[in-house]
Homo-oligomer: A and B are copies of this chain.
Amino acid sequence: MDYNAEATRSLARIAEQKPLIHQITNVVVTNDSANMTLGFGALPVMAYAPEEVAEMAAMAQALVLNIGTLSAAEIEAMLLAGRSAGDSGVPIVLDPVGAGATRFRTESALRLMSELPVTVLRGNRGEIGALVGSGQVRGVEAVGTEDPRAVAQAAAERFRVVTAVTGPVDFVVGDGRVLEVRNGHPLLGRITGSGCMSTAAIGIFLTAGEDVLLQTALGLGTYGLAAERAAEGEPGPGTFRSRLLDEVAALGAGSTHGLQISEA
C-alpha cells in the first residue's frame, strides 16, 4: 500500500472537511491538544459538562477521551458523550493515561472500555498492559519489560478493538492485521502530553477514511514525522514543542516523505 498517498489524501480530506473533534481530556494537555488539532486542519472543541456533552459528541466527527486527570464527574461525562457518539456513529478514541498506576485509573479505563463502543484504544505498553493484566506503570510512564506488540495483540483480542501501543515503534493491531509505525523522536519523551497528542491525531484521522487500522497508523505516522522534522538541529524541549506544532501545520501543504509505516 502506498502510505504516502494515503496520508496525503487523508490530510487533504481533513483540511477540506474541517472535522469537529470533541475532546474530553486532561488539564495538562488541553491547550496543546487543541492547538495540535487546529494544526492538522481540524476543529477542536473541549466540552465536559454533563449538560452538553451528549449534544456536542453527536455533532462531532470524532470523540477523544483521555483520563489523564480524571474525576468521577468526568467519567460520567465521558459515558454520556460516548453513548451519544455511539448512537450517532461517531468514532471514539480512548487514551487510558496512567492506567496501572492507581486502581481508580485502571478501573475507570476498563469501565469505559466495557460500556462504550470504543473504536481505537491507544496507550503505552504499561498502560495497555495494565488493562490486560500485564503492565507496569509509574505515574503515567511505562516501566516494565512487556513486549509492546504482544500487549497490543492481547488488548485487541480481549476488547475486540483496534489497539495502538506506542513507543519507539508503534504497533497498531486489529482484525488480524498489524501495522508498525517507525516515525517519532526521543524529544517527544521530553515534553508532556506527547502521547495524548498522538491520541488526538488518531481521532482526527479516523474522520478521513473507513479503514480504522490504516487511519490510526497514518495519524501516528504523520504526527511522528512532524516530530522528526521539529527535532532537526536538536533543539531543547521548549523550542521543540513550538516547532512540533509548526511542523504538524506544515504537513498538509507539504510532502509526507519519510513516513515509515509497514505491515508486520
Chain A residues with CB under 8 Å of chain B are 18, 20, 22, 26-32, 34-35, 38-39, 43-49, 51-52, 55-56, 59-60, 68-72, 98, 101-105, 138-141, 189-193, 235-239, 241-247, 249-250
Contact = CB atoms under 8 A, between A and B. Distances in A.
B250 A56 contact: no
Contacts of A105: 52
Residue among A29, A55, A68, A242 with most chain B CB within 10 A: A242
26 contacts: A18-B141, A20-B139, A27-B27, A27-B46, A28-B31, A31-B193, A34-B193, A38-B237, A39-B238, A43-B141, A45-B140, A47-B98, A49-B104, A51-B102, A51-B104, A52-B102, A52-B103, A56-B102, A59-B101, A236-B245, A236-B250, A237-B246, A237-B249, A238-B241, A239-B242, A239-B246
A189 B32 CA distance: 15
Given A28-B46, A104-B52, A191 B35 contact: yes
A43 B138 contact: yes
A9 B105 CA distance: 35
Contact of A43 (B34, B39, B47, B139): B139
Contacts of A235: 246
Total copies of the chain: 3
B139 A44 contact: yes
Contacts of A245: 236-238, 241
Given A49-B72, A139-B44, A39 B246 contact: no
A193 B31 CA distance: 8
Given A26-B46, A236-B246, A246-B238, A72 B101 contact: no
